[in-house]
Amino acid sequence: MTDCLACRIHRGELRVPGGVLYDDGLWRVEHAVEPTPMLGWLVAKPLRHVECLDELTPGEAERMGPVLRRMAAALRASGVLPVRPEKVYAVLFAEAAHAPHMHFHLIPRTAADPPERRGPHVFERMREAAANPESAPSPAALQALAARIRAFLQSAASL
Ligand SMILES: [Zn+2]
Protein backbone atom coordinates (compact mmCIF):
# COMPACT_ATOMS: atom_id res chain seq x y z
CA MET A 1 0.00 0.00 0.00
CA THR A 2 1.84 3.10 -1.23
CA ASP A 3 0.52 5.72 1.21
CA CYS A 4 0.62 3.48 4.31
CA LEU A 5 2.51 5.32 7.06
CA ALA A 6 4.39 2.21 8.23
CA CYS A 7 5.37 1.22 4.69
CA ARG A 8 6.57 4.77 4.02
CA ILE A 9 8.76 4.58 7.14
CA HIS A 10 10.11 1.18 6.08
CA ARG A 11 10.96 2.55 2.63
CA GLY A 12 12.91 5.39 4.29
CA GLU A 13 10.54 8.14 3.14
CA LEU A 14 9.92 9.26 6.72
CA ARG A 15 12.39 9.28 9.59
CA VAL A 16 11.43 8.36 13.12
CA PRO A 17 13.38 9.98 15.96
CA GLY A 18 16.04 7.69 17.36
CA GLY A 19 16.10 5.50 14.27
CA VAL A 20 15.51 1.77 14.07
CA LEU A 21 15.68 0.06 17.46
CA TYR A 22 15.17 -3.50 16.29
CA ASP A 23 14.90 -5.17 12.90
CA ASP A 24 15.15 -8.91 12.33
CA GLY A 25 13.98 -8.91 8.73
CA LEU A 26 10.40 -9.74 9.72
CA TRP A 27 9.65 -7.24 12.49
CA ARG A 28 10.84 -3.72 13.15
CA VAL A 29 10.58 -1.56 16.28
CA GLU A 30 10.97 2.23 16.38
CA HIS A 31 9.71 5.12 18.43
CA ALA A 32 6.24 6.37 17.59
CA VAL A 33 6.37 9.02 14.84
CA GLU A 34 6.76 12.67 15.77
CA PRO A 35 5.54 14.16 17.89
CA THR A 36 6.43 11.07 19.91
CA PRO A 37 4.03 11.28 22.88
CA MET A 38 6.52 10.23 25.55
CA LEU A 39 9.90 8.63 26.09
CA GLY A 40 9.61 4.91 25.46
CA TRP A 41 6.42 4.99 23.37
CA LEU A 42 7.46 2.41 20.78
CA VAL A 43 5.80 0.85 17.75
CA ALA A 44 6.44 -2.78 16.75
CA LYS A 45 5.24 -3.91 13.33
CA PRO A 46 5.84 -6.52 10.66
CA LEU A 47 7.98 -5.19 7.83
CA ARG A 48 5.53 -6.62 5.32
CA HIS A 49 2.23 -4.77 4.82
CA VAL A 50 -0.18 -6.80 6.96
CA GLU A 51 -3.47 -5.42 8.25
CA CYS A 52 -4.67 -8.11 10.66
CA LEU A 53 -3.11 -10.76 12.89
CA ASP A 54 -4.41 -13.65 10.79
CA GLU A 55 -2.51 -12.32 7.77
CA LEU A 56 0.86 -12.95 9.44
CA THR A 57 2.88 -15.81 8.03
CA PRO A 58 3.68 -18.58 10.53
CA GLY A 59 7.24 -17.19 10.70
CA GLU A 60 6.07 -13.65 11.40
CA ALA A 61 3.66 -14.96 14.02
CA GLU A 62 6.36 -17.03 15.74
CA ARG A 63 8.62 -13.99 15.95
CA MET A 64 5.91 -11.70 17.35
CA GLY A 65 5.92 -12.90 20.96
CA PRO A 66 9.70 -12.81 21.40
CA VAL A 67 9.89 -9.32 19.85
CA LEU A 68 7.21 -7.93 22.16
CA ARG A 69 8.78 -9.60 25.19
CA ARG A 70 12.28 -8.31 24.41
CA MET A 71 11.06 -4.76 23.88
CA ALA A 72 9.09 -4.84 27.14
CA ALA A 73 12.23 -6.12 28.86
CA ALA A 74 14.22 -3.27 27.31
CA LEU A 75 11.76 -0.66 28.56
CA ARG A 76 11.77 -2.19 32.07
CA ALA A 77 15.53 -2.73 32.27
CA SER A 78 17.41 -0.77 34.90
CA GLY A 79 18.60 2.61 33.64
CA VAL A 80 16.88 2.52 30.25
CA LEU A 81 14.01 4.89 31.12
CA PRO A 82 14.26 7.60 33.81
CA VAL A 83 11.53 5.77 35.78
CA ARG A 84 11.12 2.00 35.49
CA PRO A 85 7.58 1.26 34.25
CA GLU A 86 5.28 -0.98 36.29
CA LYS A 87 3.70 -2.16 33.06
CA VAL A 88 4.28 -2.03 29.35
CA TYR A 89 1.05 -1.84 27.41
CA ALA A 90 0.86 -3.62 24.03
CA VAL A 91 -1.99 -2.16 22.02
CA LEU A 92 -3.01 -3.09 18.47
CA PHE A 93 -5.78 -1.17 16.72
CA ALA A 94 -4.42 -0.02 13.31
CA GLU A 95 -7.59 2.01 12.77
CA ALA A 96 -6.14 5.31 11.47
CA ALA A 97 -6.90 5.75 7.78
CA HIS A 98 -3.24 6.44 6.97
CA ALA A 99 -1.97 3.56 9.14
CA PRO A 100 -3.90 0.34 8.42
CA HIS A 101 -0.63 -1.63 8.68
CA MET A 102 -0.86 -3.64 11.88
CA HIS A 103 1.33 -2.19 14.60
CA PHE A 104 1.59 -2.64 18.33
CA HIS A 105 1.97 0.47 20.42
CA LEU A 106 4.30 -0.46 23.30
CA ILE A 107 3.70 2.09 26.02
CA PRO A 108 5.45 2.27 29.40
CA ARG A 109 3.16 2.99 32.36
CA THR A 110 4.82 4.10 35.60
CA ALA A 111 3.52 4.19 39.17
CA ALA A 112 3.29 7.98 38.85
CA ASP A 113 0.83 7.88 35.95
CA PRO A 114 -2.59 8.92 37.31
CA PRO A 115 -5.70 6.77 36.81
CA GLU A 116 -6.96 9.12 34.09
CA ARG A 117 -3.86 8.28 32.02
CA ARG A 118 -4.03 4.51 32.44
CA GLY A 119 -5.44 1.85 30.13
CA PRO A 120 -6.97 3.18 26.91
CA HIS A 121 -6.79 6.73 28.32
CA VAL A 122 -3.04 6.67 27.68
CA PHE A 123 -3.89 7.59 24.08
CA GLU A 124 -4.81 11.05 25.37
CA ARG A 125 -1.05 11.55 25.46
CA MET A 126 -0.89 11.10 21.71
CA ARG A 127 -3.61 13.71 21.17
CA GLU A 128 -1.90 16.09 23.60
CA ALA A 129 1.46 15.74 21.88
CA ALA A 130 -0.14 16.42 18.49
CA ALA A 131 -1.83 19.55 19.87
CA ASN A 132 1.26 20.68 21.76
CA PRO A 133 4.37 19.30 20.01
CA GLU A 134 6.79 21.21 22.24
CA SER A 135 5.62 19.02 25.13
CA ALA A 136 6.98 15.93 23.33
CA PRO A 137 10.44 14.57 24.18
CA SER A 138 13.28 16.25 22.30
CA PRO A 139 15.04 14.46 19.41
CA ALA A 140 18.19 14.38 21.56
CA ALA A 141 16.33 12.65 24.42
CA LEU A 142 14.82 10.13 22.00
CA GLN A 143 18.23 9.43 20.43
CA ALA A 144 19.80 8.91 23.85
CA LEU A 145 17.03 6.52 24.84
CA ALA A 146 17.37 4.70 21.51
CA ALA A 147 21.06 4.15 22.23
CA ARG A 148 20.23 2.68 25.68
CA ILE A 149 17.59 0.38 24.18
CA ARG A 150 19.97 -0.83 21.44
CA ALA A 151 22.68 -1.45 24.06
CA PHE A 152 20.24 -3.48 26.14
CA LEU A 153 19.15 -5.52 23.12
CA GLN A 154 22.79 -6.38 22.38
CA SER A 155 23.33 -7.55 25.94
CA ALA A 156 22.81 -11.09 27.15
CA ALA A 157 20.14 -9.83 29.55
CA SER A 158 17.76 -9.30 26.66
CA LEU A 159 17.75 -12.91 25.45
ZN1 LIG B 1 2.00 -0.86 5.27
Task: Name the CATH topology of 5-158.
Answer: HIT family, subunit A (3.30.428)
**Contact criterion met (CB below 8 Å) for 89 and 122:** yes
Q: For residue 134, how far is its CA from the centre of ligand 1 (angstroms)?
A: 28
Instruction: Give the C-alpha separation, 88 to 94, whole Å.
Output: 18
Ligand 1 center from residue 17 Cα (angstroms): 19
pTM: 0.94
Tell whether omega for the bond before 133 is within 30 degrees of 0, i.e. cis. no
Task: Give the start-to-end residue ranges of the domains of the chain.
Answer: 5-158
pLDDT by position in tens, the chain (length 159): 679 999 999 999 999 999 999 999 999 999 999 899 999 999 999 999 999 999 999 999 999 999 999 999 999 999 999 999 999 999 999 998 899 999 999 999 999 999 999 999 999 999 999 999 999 999 999 999 999 999 999 997 767
Q: Half-sphere exposure of residue 93, counting CA atoms within 13 Å on the CB side? A: 9
Q: How far is the CA of 89 from the centre of ligand 1 (A)?
A: 22
* Ramachandran class of 81: left when φ > 0, alpha when ψ lies in -120 to 50, beta otherwise: beta
